[in-house]
Each structure stands twice: as structure tokens, then as C-alpha cells.
Amino acid sequence: MDNFTFYSPTEFVFGKETENDCGRYILKHGGSKALIHYGSGSAVRSGLISRVQASLEKYGVQYVTLGGVKPNPRDTLVYEGIELCRKEHVDFILSVGGGSCIDSSKAIAAGALYDGDFWDFYSGKSRIERALPIGTVLTIAAAGSEGSGSSVITKEDGMLKRSTGSDLIRPRFSVLDPELTFTLPAYQTACGATDIMAHVFERYFTNTKEVEITDRLCEAVLLTMIKETPRVIKQPDDYGARANIMWAGTVAHNDIVGVGRSQDWNSHGLEHELSGLYDCAHGAGLAVIMPAWMEYVYKHDVMRFVKAAVRVWGCDPDFDDPEQTALEGIKRFRRFLHSIGMPINFAELGAKKEDIPVLVKKYGLADGGTTGGFMPLNNEDITNIYTIAANAEIEL
Amino acid sequence: MDNFTFYSPTEFVFGKETENDCGRYILKHGGSKALIHYGSGSAVRSGLISRVQASLEKYGVQYVTLGGVKPNPRDTLVYEGIELCRKEHVDFILSVGGGSCIDSSKAIAAGALYDGDFWDFYSGKSRIERALPIGTVLTIAAAGSEGSGSSVITKEDGMLKRSTGSDLIRPRFSVLDPELTFTLPAYQTACGATDIMAHVFERYFTNTKEVEITDRLCEAVLLTMIKETPRVIKQPDDYGARANIMWAGTVAHNDIVGVGRSQDWNSHGLEHELSGLYDCAHGAGLAVIMPAWMEYVYKHDVMRFVKAAVRVWGCDPDFDDPEQTALEGIKRFRRFLHSIGMPINFAELGAKKEDIPVLVKKYGLADGGTTGGFMPLNNEDITNIYTIAANAEIEL
């Protein structure tokens, strides 16, 4: 196990009707005037925004609102939010939505107190040194942004997707009401579940030895997702299953399951180019990329893939031919993703094989350079993985 | 799953030689003059206290010291610590030791800023409203106090063991260096491991439905302990195994594996009377009590005990007679405890059957009253469990 620091100070407020308390939590965490930042009209139509506003009014918290966050949240709306915060002297950001909305809120929170261009934090030009406090009311279990210090924003000019991170943009509190996810369409639910599983697998495939506790915690989250996801696809208002998925999504990404070990993150890197180019859902892109990545890299540590196959996918280990067990685990993962309605190749995602050179170029790896924490990949490797992903089929 | 709030703001600093940074972390968390509170002479003899002092000096943090914390920490030393803090204008408590030392530190931290008798917080007469900030340098993986807001103190007059809890006494930071646990005797190591497993089982046995994520997380910690504990008993300086146990100990008790579900805590309650009366190690007392408690209550929810037997103890489920599987799991738990050198009955613990009425009386349950979150127990039940514990034997 490697040395590490684990810090997750967010206050998680979980359960039915907890969104009605968000005014109280803003007050507790020092806010007096909030920007309520949200995404699509569904948060308004469902009455959620009204309930949130009522809670703020009950506790005497003033507010302004800014909606319109899209999936793969854009820099343009962030600039608008920053300007609004300054003009209205906002001292707290309340994010009502999913990962995109929270990521947009984090960018606004940091940008509002920065003299330069907030994109500096995403281009690597500058580090976040101050930020407005943030709270969230989560509406989809997926990104884990409600408990993380990271944010991904897409620059509209060139659809460039970049990330930043700081403890200063960790939410002070996050309200998680599983009932808010009842109305999610099956496809979005499955995209969220895929993202959660990907967050765990990015951590699971490591070169660090002696990490049994985090291995087991990773497996715990994956086993939960395998059990609970099909239940909510069938029965969207199954509170128990929605609740398990929602807490699993937070645990998957606040790093409690990933500390003290090298992590990979190449699947996320490769996926970002897909959703950047085609504006597809992040989870759907991951469903196409992650099994392809696994098939390409498993020989780097066959026994780790056997471990996943046996412990997560319930495979009977083939002691004469461990590679077959490793491959069987990956097959079961792809079949699982297919069973919950996820795309498994480029055609199903709406991506094009002939764009692979464009994707590789946009990834921006220098010739001879490598990326990733498990098996370092160069441009040829990336091309090969995109090609496997393009052509993948379900094997019975 | 029940509604819950999860809040674990402690900054965990994990790994080799991290104790050399504790001066920096005190500064970061606002301290300028610390009380270094520690237990036995071994922390001094090993050079740990000197290294900690050097770190404080390096960062310009002043300090006074108070050693002498005993297992089952006493109110008398707490009073001494409170007086010292006031006299020396201490603004930070640095606890260098195990759970007893941290619990004593928490009592001092709360008592130093309280006008009345600190015991008020433990007798239930008053609630903690202010406390000095606390940091810890952990020297044994066991109590989980490094990441919790709870504290247990023993009143010497009558050996009365009582607990309190508040977010205000959660450590601001905890330094966890697995190397500091290399020199622990096997018996203490095993006591710590037993305590960790008990913290999980107290949460695992619940009446709350739809808690797959926390079930799986509980199992993750237990499986890790079953794998790693025998390794450190054989090889005390096995860094990987010590590291896995240390992080498992924190995860077991900061409630990440227990949120949203009813918890039991009767085994801890029953054990407290044993260590209160005989001054035995808490973990050793738990080794005697917990399997006895399980044997007495398993019929309350046979299938939950089957789940533990299959998933944690690797039992082959007997579908014709699930009770046999449940009982086999409990047998394997007791055999495991025996294999790591723990006592399994009163005689091995140094307790006396004839004291059972005294233990029950000290527990203090009113006639007709019940205790515990899984299966409510009355005085007759408690007597029966102590009796099973007194007579337990290893079954092959």
C-alpha cells in the first residue's frame, strides 16, 4: 500500500425528502445568498426547484437562479454564472442536478473569486486558491461529483473536455434523496450505473501490491451495482434499489475505495474524446470503451483480472488456464452492460470507426508519450483500443 | 435503507514516517500550543514521542506532555489533563497512542472548555458544546477512535464505564503509520483485530431492509481482517498486512459501513461490564461475548446469519437446513478468534461464572427494560448470553 491522504469533509444528508432541509444546511455552512444552479427544465417541471426555493425562503436564505446546464457542461454557461455571482454578491452555490450541474457549479465557485479566466484551472495554467462554498441536491447517481473535489468542463470552442481538482471545491454538504431519481429514464439510469462501475474499475486495476482492503471495498461497490441496477431498470421507483445505487455512487468516487494505490483512468481519458466529439452520454461512452480497454490490457496482470472475474463476476476459476477466466470476466461485464441497455460498440453509440485517427489526435498524446496508471498506453495502443471498441460484439 | 447523515471530516494521513509531519498538521488545523497525551512508556522508549516532539519543534508548535493513559482510560487522568490544559493555555490536543489514549484526549478536549465536571458528558447530564481541536498519531489498529466522534471513559470510583459522542470531538487529523504497530505483542494485535471485526458485526446485524451496499462494505472489511490478521500474528513486521488492517480499522468505525441501518451494540455493552470488572482487554472480552451473543440471537433472523456464514466465512449453504449454515458461520468465527490467540470463554479471559449476577446488575437494565438494536434483550437474555460465553468451547 502506498502512502496517502484521505480527506472527505462533505456532510452527506441522505434519504427521503431531505431536499426540504437544504436551506438549513446552507445557513449552517455560512451562506446567506445562494445561486441555485440547475440543468434541464425537468427539475423545474417536477417541482423540485420550487421545493428547494421554499426551503431557502423558510430559512431566510436569499437566492438567484441559473438553469440550462447541459450534459458535458460548457464553459459558456460557467462565464454566465460567474458574472451573475459577482453582480448579485452571491456567497454560496447550490447545485440542483447531476454531475454536469455540480461540475459547472464548481467551476463557477472557483471562477467567481478569481481575477483571471476560470479556464486557467482546467488548462493547468493556474491552481484554485479560493472558491465559494458549494452544496448539492443530487438528481442522478453517477458522477460522484457530490463527494469529490474534481470537475470536468467542455470548452465549446473545439469541444475540448478538461478537468481540474481541489479540496476547495468539495461540496460542504450534499443532499441525496433517492426518490429524486425515480423519474430518470432507463437509459440515463444505466449510464449512471456504468459511470459508477467505471469509477471503481479505474481504481481496481492497479500495480500497487498489498491492497486487500481497497480491493474488497471496490468489489463491494461493484457487487452492489450488479445486484441493484437491473432492479431499477425494471422498476424505476424501487426505493431500496435506488438508495443502494445512490450511496454506492458516492462511495465509488470519494476515494475511500481507491486510496493508497495507483489508479488507471485511461478509460475515462479515452471516453472523454468520444463524448467530446459526439456529445454522447459519458456512461454510454464508458460502456463501449471499458471492456475494450480490459481486453487490450489484461495480459499486463492476468491474475488481477482473474480476481475480478471470480470475486465480482462469479466466474469459476479455471486453474489450468487462468487467462480464460480473465476473459470470461470481461465478457460478463460486457453482457451486463448490454443487459441494462448500454451500447457496446461504436455503431450503437453513434460513433464512427473512420474517426479513430481524429479521436487519437484530439487525445493529444505526444509521439512516444504514454498515459495511464495501470498499463501505460501510447498512440498505437489507444488506436487499438478504439478499434476493439468500434468492432465489439456480445459473445454468448 | 433509513435516512441518515454521514460526516467524517477527519484528514487521514496514512503511511510510512507520516508521524514526522504532525507538527505541520497541527499548524494547519490552527494549533500553536499542544498537549501531547500518551500512554505507556513504550511510546517514549521507542523514540516515537521524541520524533513527535521534533516535528512540533520544527514547525514552531509549543507543547506540554502528559503520559500514563491506561487501557480502559480513567477519569482521574482526564481531570489532570484538563487542569494542565487550562494552566498552560493549551489550544490543541495531540494524542499519541491507541483508542484509550484518543478517548482520554477527547474527554480532556471537551472538559477543558467546560465549566462543570467533564463526567457530565458521560453520565448524560450535559452535551458537548465546545472542545479543543484534536489530532492523533495512532499506535494500534483497533478502536477506530481516530476517525470517530465517540469516547469511552472509566470512572475509577466503582469502575463505571460510560461513553459520549459529538462531532466536536472528532479528530481534525489522524496520522496512521502502520510501522508504529510492528512492535505490538501478538495478543494486543489480536485484541485490536477482534475489536475491528466487532465494530463491523455490530452494524452488520440489523433489522433494516435493502442495505446491500453497506452489507457488502461490512463484508469487505471482515474478509480483509480474516485474510490479514493471521499474517501479522505470524510476521509482526509485515508492512502490507499491517497497513491493510490499519485502514480497515478506520473504515470499520467511521460509520461508512454502517449508515442508513439499525445497529446492535449489545456485544459492546455486555463486554464493557467484563472489562470494567476485570480490567481485561476490550478485544479479548469481545472475543468471548460476541460469538455467544450470536448463538443466542441468530434465530431472530436466520437468513442474515446465513448471509454472513456464506459471504464472510465461506460456508457452503445448506439449503435444506439453513440454521446449520448459520451456526457453522458462528463456529468458524469462534475458531478464527481462537486461532489468533483470543480467549473464547470466561476461564480463558479470567472472568468468573459466579460473577454473572454482578455483571448483569452493573449493566443496570431496569426490570422489564430491553437493550440493543437487533434483538432487544432483557436481564434474563443478558444472563443467558453471559452463561453461554462462560461455558463456550471450540467445536471442531
Instruction: Give yes or no for B167 touching A (CB within 8 A).
Output: no
C-alpha cell at B163: 461513553
Reported as a single tens digit per residue, the pLDDT across B144-178 is 999 999 999 999 998 888 999 999 999 999 999 99
Interface probe, candidates B212, B223, B227, chain A, greatest A C-beta count within 10 A:
B212
Q: Are residues A237 and A262 in the same domain?
A: yes
Mean per-residue pLDDT, B254-261: 95
Reported as a single tens digit per residue, the pLDDT across B302-328 is 999 999 999 999 999 999 999 999 999
Q: Model confidence at B141, in pLDDT bands (50, 70, 90)?
A: very high
Q: What are the per-10-residue average pLDDT scores of chain A (396 residues)?
A: 97 98 97 95 92 98 97 95 98 97 98 98 97 98 95 90 94 98 97 98 98 98 98 98 98 96 96 92 97 98 98 97 98 98 98 98 92 96 98 90
The reply to whether A219 falls in a domain is yes
Q: Are residues B344 and B195 in the same domain?
A: yes
- B283, pLDDT greater than 80: yes
- B132, pLDDT greater than 90: yes
C-alpha cell at B115: 465549566
The reply to whether B1 falls in a domain is no
Tell me what pLDDT residue B159 has.
Answer: 81
What are the DSSP calls for A189-249, one per residue?
HHHHHHHHHHHHHHHHS-S-SS-HHHHHHHHHHHHHHHHHHHHHHH-TT-HHHHHHHHHHH
Name residues 10-49 of chain A within 8 A of B (Cβ). Answer: 11-16, 18
C-alpha cell at A347: 455503431
Q: Rounded mean pLDDT of chain B?
A: 96
The reply to whether B396 falls in a domain is no
Q: Are residues A310 and A231 in the same domain?
A: yes
Task: Work out the number of other CB atoms within 10 angstroms of the CB of residue B265.
Answer: 17
Q: Is A38 left (phi over 0), alpha (psi -120 to 50) or beta?
A: beta
User: If DSSP states are collapsed to H, E and C, what string results for chain B?
Assistant: CCCEEEEEEEEEEECCCHHHHHHHHHHHCCCCEEEEEECCCHHHHCCHHHHHHHHHHHCCCEEEEECCCCCCCEHHHHHHHHHHHHHHCCCEEEEEECHHHHHHHHHHHHHCCCCCCCCHHHHCCCCCCCCCCEEEEECCCCCCHHHCCEEEEEECCCCEEEEEECHHHCCCEEEECHHHHCCCCHHHHHHHHHHHHHHHHHHHCCCCCCCHHHHHHHHHHHHHHHHHHHHHHHCCCCHHHHHHHHHHHHHCCCCCCCCCCCCCCHHHHHHHHHHHHHCCCHHHHHHHHHHHHHHHHHHHHHHHHHHHHHHCCCCCCCCCCHHHHHHHHHHHHHHHHHHCCCCCCHHHHCCCHHHHHHHHHHHCCCCCCCECCCCCECHHHHHHHHHHHHHCCCCC
Tell me what pLDDT residue A360 has.
Answer: 97
Reported as a single tens digit per residue, the pLDDT across A14-45 is 999 999 999 999 999 999 999 999 997 889 99
C-alpha dist (Å) from residue B157 to A294, B76, B165 = 63, 10, 22
Q: For residue B281, give the CATH number of its domain.
A: 1.20.1090.10
Instruction: Give yes or no for B252 touching A (CB within 8 A).
Output: no
Question: Rounded to an integer, what distance in angstroms lies between the CA atom of residue A58 and that of residue B59?
Answer: 46
Name residues 259-278 of chain B within 8 A of A (Cβ). Answer: 259-260
Q: For residue A24, give the CATH number of its domain.
A: 3.40.50.1970
Q: Are residues A117 and A214 in the same domain?
A: no
The reply to whether A3 falls in a domain is no
Angle between helices A356-363 and A379-391 (to 10 degrees): 140
Q: Is A364 left (phi over 0), alpha (psi -120 to 50) or beta?
A: left
Tell me what pLDDT residue B312 has.
Answer: 98
Q: Are residues B109 and B228 in the same domain?
A: no
Contact A240 B1 (CB under 8 A): yes
Q: Are strands B33-38 and B134-138 parallel, antiparallel or unpaired?
A: unpaired
C-alpha cell at A302: 492476468
Q: Are residues B277 and B154 in the same domain?
A: no
Instruction: Give yes or no for B179 touching A (CB within 8 A).
Output: no
Distance of CA B313 to the CA centre of its chain: 22
Domain boundary among B180, B200, B230: B180
Q: Are residues A280 and A169 in the same domain?
A: no
CA atoms within 13 A of residue A192's CA, in its CB half-sphere: 31
Instruction: Give yes or no for A146 touching B (CB within 8 A).
Output: no
CB A189, CB A233: distance < 8 Å: yes
- B396, pLDDT greater than 90: no
Reported as a single tens digit per residue, the pLDDT across B43-74 is 999 999 999 999 999 999 999 999 999 988 99
The reply to whether A6 falls in a domain is no
The reply to whether B114 falls in a domain is yes
- Which residues are paired to A161 by β-bridges? A154
Domain boundary among B133, B150, B180: B180
3-class secondary structure, A93 = strand
C-alpha cell at A166: 481541489
- Compute the nearest-CA separation of A245 from chain B (Å): 8
Residue A55 belongs to what H/E stretch? helix A48-58
- Which residue range is the domain that position B264 belongs to? 183-391
Question: Rounded to an integer, what distance in angstroms lies between the CA atom of residue A194 and that of residue A258?
Answer: 17
3-class secondary structure, A68 = coil
Domain boundary among B147, B162, B180: B180
For chain A, counts of helices (H) and of strands (E): 16, 8
Q: Are residues A220 and A344 in the same domain?
A: yes
Entry field: residues in chain A: 396
Instruction: Give yes or no for B279 touching A (CB within 8 A).
Output: no
Tell me what pLDDT residue B160 has.
Answer: 86
Q: Which residue has the cell 460509520?
A: B255
3-class secondary structure, A37 = strand
Domain total of chain B = 2
Contact A8 B13 (CB under 8 A): no
C-alpha dist (Å) from residue A277 to A320, A351, B81 = 43, 9, 63
Reported as a single tens digit per residue, the pLDDT across B220-231 is 999 999 999 999
Q: Model confidence at B122, in pLDDT bands (50, 70, 90)?
A: very high
The reply to whether A1 falls in a domain is no
Contact A1 B247 (CB under 8 A): yes
Distance of CA B29 to the CA centre of its chain: 25
Nearest to A134 by CA among A175, A83, A73: A175
Amino acid letter at B17? E
Nearest to B100 by CA among B136, B153, B54: B153
Q: Are residues A235 and A339 in the same domain?
A: yes
C-alpha cell at A345: 460498440
Q: Are residues B173 and B191 in the same domain?
A: no
Q: What is the ipTM of this complex?
A: 0.96
Contact B1 A15 (CB under 8 A): yes
Tell me what pLDDT residue A14 has.
Answer: 98
Question: Rounded to an integer, what distance in angstroms lies between the CA atom of residue B394 and that of residue B162?
Answer: 32
Query: Closest to B12 (Cβ–Cβ): which among A6, A217, A247?
Result: A6
Interface probe, candidates B177, B235, B247, chain A, greatest A C-beta count within 10 A:
B247
Contact A6 B16 (CB under 8 A): no
Which residues of A are less than 8 Å from B241 in CB distance? 210
Q: In what order do the strands lie in the sheet with A134-138?
A: A62-66, A33-38, A92-97, A134-138, A173-176, A4-14, B4-14, B173-176, B134-138, B92-97, B33-38, B62-66
Question: Rounded to an integer, what distance in angstroms lies between the CA atom of residue B111 and that of residue B126?
Answer: 11
DSSP state of A311: H
Mean per-residue pLDDT, B271-277: 92
Contact A13 B5 (CB under 8 A): yes
CA B199-B201-B207 angle, to 5 degrees, is 120
DSSP state of A126: S
Q: What are phi and psi of A258, to 5 degrees?
A: -125, 0
Tell me what pLDDT residue B41 has.
Answer: 82
SS3 content of chain A, % helix, strand, coil (to 5): 55, 15, 35
Nearest to B5 by CA among A44, A109, A21: A21
The reply to whether B50 falls in a domain is yes
Question: Rounded to an integer, what distance in angstroms lies between the CA atom of residue A249 and that of residue A234?
Answer: 19
Tell me what pLDDT residue A395 has.
Answer: 82
Query: Closest to A256 (Cβ–Cβ): which among B3, B241, B251?
Result: B251
Tell me what pLDDT residue B369 has.
Answer: 95
Q: Are residues B65 and B116 in the same domain?
A: yes
Q: Are residues B254 and B330 in the same domain?
A: yes
pTM for this structure?
0.96
Query: Closest to B13 (Cβ–Cβ): which among A2, A5, A223?
Result: A5
